[in-house]
């Protein structure tokens, strides 16, 4: 147990202590990006554009996976997302925009993560909470 009554940053009730959250945020804010964000963003944008062109040309999912094997192997969840009939293009554009801003130094990885997380919270969590009666929360 640390001097502030927490164990590994958690309170006795299992929640995170405000101090540990602030410490983690400060560390993340100052930590450099561990990958070349700009180059990765360009690669992802080009790959997604290519997948969309294959889809527009009527290629099957198996054909696209074969043609885009490197991308599908390196980013399986993203590949699955962008090959769904009605994927959320705005969400993907937001993530790619954050990568671009990280690449130019406009945002840190931590700041970009907060922006994406806030957008997801606003889109998926907040509407559910509003429609759920307080007694069921």
Q: What is the pLDDT of residues 37-57, one digit of tens each?
A: 778 888 999 999 999 999 999
Residue 69 exposed, middle or buried by CB count within 10 Å (0-12, 13-18, 19+):
exposed
Report which of 89, 109, 90 is spatially closest to residue 99, judged by C-alpha positions. Answer: 109
DSSP code for 14: S
Write down the mean pLDDT value for the chain.
81
The answer, yes or no, to whether residue 12 has pLDDT greater than 90, is no
Higher-scoring residue by pLDDT: 29, 43: 43
Distance separating alpha carbons of residues 87 and 94, to the nearest angstrom: 13
CB 40 within 8 A of CB 104: no
Neighbours of 17 (CB within 10 A): 18
pLDDT digits (tens, 9 = 90+) for 104-120: 889 888 898 899 889 88
Residue 10 CA to residue 54 CA, distance in Å, equals 49
Q: How does residue 35 score in pLDDT terms, banded at 50, 70 and 90?
A: low
Write down the pTM of the prediction: 0.59
Structure-model confidence comparison of residues 37 and 95, the more confident one: 95
Three-state secondary-structure class, residue 16: strand
Give phi and psi for 16, each to the nearest 5: -80, 140
- pLDDT at residue 11 tops 90: no
Query: How many CA atoms lie within 13 Å of 27's alpha carbon, on the beta-carbon side?
Result: 6
Domain ranges within the chain, ordered by starting residue: 37-129
Q: pLDDT at residue 5 above 60? A: no
Residue 94: pLDDT over 60: yes
């Amino acid at each position: 147990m640390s001097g502030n009554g927490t164990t590994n940053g958690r309170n006795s009730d299992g929640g995170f202590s405000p101090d540990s959250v602030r410490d983690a945020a400060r560390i993340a804010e100052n930590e450099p990006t561990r990958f070349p964000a700009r180059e990765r963003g360009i690669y992802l944008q080009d790959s997604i554009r290519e997948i969309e062109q294959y889809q527009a040309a009527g290629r099957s999912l198996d054909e696209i996976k074969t043609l885009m094997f490197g991308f599908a192997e390196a980013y399986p969840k993203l590949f699955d997302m962008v090959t769904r009939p009605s994927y959320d293009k705005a969400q993907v554009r937001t993530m790619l925009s954050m990568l671009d801003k990280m690449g130019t130094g406009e945002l840190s990885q931590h700041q970009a993560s907060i922006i994406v997380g806030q957008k997801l919270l606003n889109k998926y969590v907040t509407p559910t909470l509003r429609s759920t009666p307080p007694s069921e929360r």
